[in-house]
Amino acid sequence: MSFASERLAQLRVAMAAQHLDAYLILSADPHQSEYLPDYWQGRRWLSGFTGSVGTLVVTADFAGLWVDSRYWEQAEKQLQGSNITLMKLGQSDVPGVNQWLGAHVRDGSVIGVDGHVLSLKAAHELQNALAGSNSKLDTDTDLLSAIWPDRAALPVAPVTEHAAPYATRSRQQNLQAIRQAMDEAGAQWHLISALDDIAWALNLRGADVSYNPVFLSHLLIGPDDAILFVDKAKVAPELIARLAADGVAVQGYDDIRSKLASLPAQTSVLVDPARTTVGLLANAPTVTLVEKLNPSQRFKSVKNDAEIAHVRRAMEQDGAALCEFFAWFEAALESGEPVTELTIDERITAARARQPHFVSPSFSTIAGFNANGAMPHYMATPEAFSVIEGNGLLLIDSGGQYLNGTTDITRVVPVGDLTVEQQRDFTLVLKGTIGLAMAVFPEDYPAPLLDTLARAPLWAQLLDYGHGTGHGVGYFMNVHEGPQVISHRAYRASDTEMKAGMITSDEPGLYRPGQWGIRIENLICAVPAGESEFGRYLKFETLTLCPIDTRCIDRDLLSEQERVWLNGYHEEVRRRLSARVSGPALDWLQRRTVAI
């Protein structure tokens, strides 16, 4: 029996003891974080699947893991022998988790899920799906604690202040903007559990969550004061004093429950239903909830001029590191030095670490050679990795956290000889990257509708990719943030309007399972394009500075306008980075930015 089968058997015993007919294990924590501290990695512990997103459903005679197309190949390998069925979310014949439960649980069933990691929005959706079967949702039971003897402790990294010159807005300014939004929403208090929103509001940073400079906490903002609920051992006395001077008290992380319980009945509390859990809100059953997007989501998505100027410098630092890395990489291949996917991760992180203001990677580096590159979220491990040798395509998706910005870039480079098919695929993806980068569109235009510009060259050839084209990027903050998203699948989402100052990724791709994967990613910033009698318009400034490998291009497929864009981009990359590199890195930069 595999370890997953043994753990599922223990879970089923615990389910029976609590009279639960089904149990859900989410990829979530009380803050709805993308990257989870080990304490909340229950789905990984139970199933063995290590991807960042997935939902596990367990009944007495069935266990299924729902993942989207980014993880199908990975999950198929990692679930072997586990007695867990892979549910390929997105396929026409595979229902979503809620739909499956609604169709498969018998009338009067009890479905359990830990309410402390279940968002209010998700709970509403699940309850609606179960309404037809008269089933009950039990959010009071955490079964993992009973069967997970070596469950990790909560992280204890210190909280630090994000100070000037890199913090360009004061705590008072941030809190004032939030309170104005509270007034407009008719709320007396505002509860924030999303860690990036808390970090932004208070100009604080931490290291409790891998790759994201945030810390476990809740924040309750009132009309005149605020309370930060955090492990007080993480916060230095001097910082506590500075927070107090700005009207922010510090209390223990778990004290949020008693504070919510003490709020008078009918007190109006603004909460973001997608970022606040039912388990936390159960402590305040008599308050009146005002359900709206956290105002800080909008505020932090729009970078001011000073922040954008810092990000431009961070992009130069990052670009210099990448020049150093790629110069080494090409020399290593030429000399016969052994290079693996793991080596790439080590070398690219080391190059960034030599740059000013570097803090950490912004996510786990994806280095996928040939077939591995066809898995969008592939990650090499010491147990399973490829050597870079022979012929093919190498995809590298990486990024850095700097005090002055967050970076995220994907490049694909040739190893040995490429086929005509590989060059064609690469060029079609590049045409999509350029198509979005050149866009001009009305201010407040819904971001999901821009997706067609990146997909059109691929759709014309009856090709596509399963992930979105663009996500928001934070300012020394989470590499994935909202509310804007460039994905046609999100066309019904609210609060996605593009505004000047928003930084978004531009990353179309194409993946051929078992063969190769291609993704070309730059970060782009929405900037004013001008104004006419028809309104104000925006365009994109490409922030990322790193050559796109022209050896992979079928030049006959590029239009004259696309060639002009690419040559202009490479001229800008060379101009901005030349003073920051020398020796082999400078030679590499000059070779890879020659006009075509």
* 373-385: pLDDT as tens digits: 998 888 888 888 9
For residue 441, count other CB atoms closer than 10 A to its CB: 18
Instruction: Report the alpha-carbon distance of residue 447 to residue 484 in Å, rounded.
Output: 6
Select from 43, 274, 224, 212 the least CA-distant residue to 143.
43
Per-residue pLDDT band at 134 (split at 50, 70, 90): confident
Specify the long-range contacts of residues 456-461, CB closer than 8 Å, at least 24 apart. 456/432, 457/428, 457/431, 457/432, 458/428, 458/429, 458/432, 458/508, 458/510, 461/428
Amino acid identity for residue 391 in this structure: N
Q: Give first-to-last CA distance, the chain, whole Å.
A: 58
State how far the alpha carbon of 500 is from the alpha carbons of 160, 307, 452, 541, 586, in Å: 29, 13, 20, 11, 34
Amino acid identity for residue 104 in this structure: H
1 has pLDDT over 70: no
Q: What pLDDT shows up at residue 325?
A: 98
Q: Give SS3 for 546.
A: coil
Instruction: Report the alpha-carbon distance of residue 187 to residue 290 in Å, rounded.
Output: 7
Give the residue ranges of DSSP H helices in 246-389.
256-262, 278-281, 295-301, 305-335, 341-353
Domains of the chain, first to last: 3-147 (3.40.350.10), 160-299 (3.40.350.10), 302-592 (3.90.230.10)
pLDDT in tens, 254-274: 999 999 999 999 999 999 999
Select from 582, 559, 580, 562 the least CA-distant residue to 570.
562
For residue 535, the cross-strand partners are: 532
Q: What pLDDT shows up at residue 520?
A: 98
Output the six-digit token pair for 560.
Answer: 């004259």
Q: At what angle do helices 171-185 and 195-202 cross, to 10 degrees?
A: 120
575 has pLDDT over 70: yes
Q: What pLDDT shows up at residue 184?
A: 97
Instruction: Report the alpha-carbon distance of residue 205 to residue 7 in Å, rounded.
Output: 36
pLDDT in tens, 485-515: 999 998 888 899 999 999 999 999 999 999 9
Respond yes or no on whether the N-terminal peptide bond of residue 155 is cis (omega within 30° of 0): no
DSSP tag of 154: P
User: CB burial class (10 A; 0-12, 13-18, 19+) of residue 534?
Assistant: exposed
Per-residue pLDDT band at 77 (split at 50, 70, 90): confident
For residue 494, count other CB atoms closer than 10 A to its CB: 10
Q: What pLDDT shows up at residue 166?
A: 97
Q: What is the mean pLDDT of residues 470-499?
A: 95
Rounded percentage of the chain residues whose pLDDT exceeds 70: 100
Q: How many CA atoms lie within 13 A of 513 on its CB side?
A: 9
Length in residues, the chain = 596
Rounded percentage of the chain residues whose pLDDT exceeds 90: 87
- Distance between alpha carbon 134 and the CA centroid of its chain, in Å? 36
Output the six-digit token pair for 331.
Answer: 């020399």
Query: Rounded to two decimals, what is the model's pTM?
Result: 0.94
For residue 113, the cross-strand partners are: 24
Instruction: Report the alpha-carbon distance of residue 405 to residue 162 in Å, rounded.
Output: 12
Instruction: Report the alpha-carbon distance of residue 76 to residue 87 in Å, rounded.
Output: 10
Q: What pLDDT shows up at residue 270?
A: 98
Positive/negative CA dihedral, 282, 287, 290, 293: negative
Instruction: Report the alpha-carbon distance of residue 78 to residue 49 in Å, rounded.
Output: 6
Q: What pLDDT shows up at residue 104?
A: 86
Q: What pLDDT shows up at residue 130?
A: 87
Mean pLDDT of the chain: 95
**Location of structure tokens 């409790």:** 208
Instruction: Report the alpha-carbon distance of residue 249 to residue 297 in Å, rounded.
Output: 23
**E-strand spans in 167-262?**
189-192, 204-205, 218-221, 226-229, 248-251
Select from 426, 410, 417 the least CA-distant residue to 463.
426
Instruction: Report the alpha-carbon distance of residue 219 to residue 256 in Å, rounded.
Output: 8
37 has pLDDT over 70: yes
Q: What is the 3-state secondary structure (H, E, C) of 400-428?
A: EEECCEECCEEEEEEECCCCHHHHHHHHH
For residue 99, count other CB atoms closer than 10 A to its CB: 11
Instruction: Report the alpha-carbon distance of residue 482 to residue 447 in Å, rounded.
Output: 11
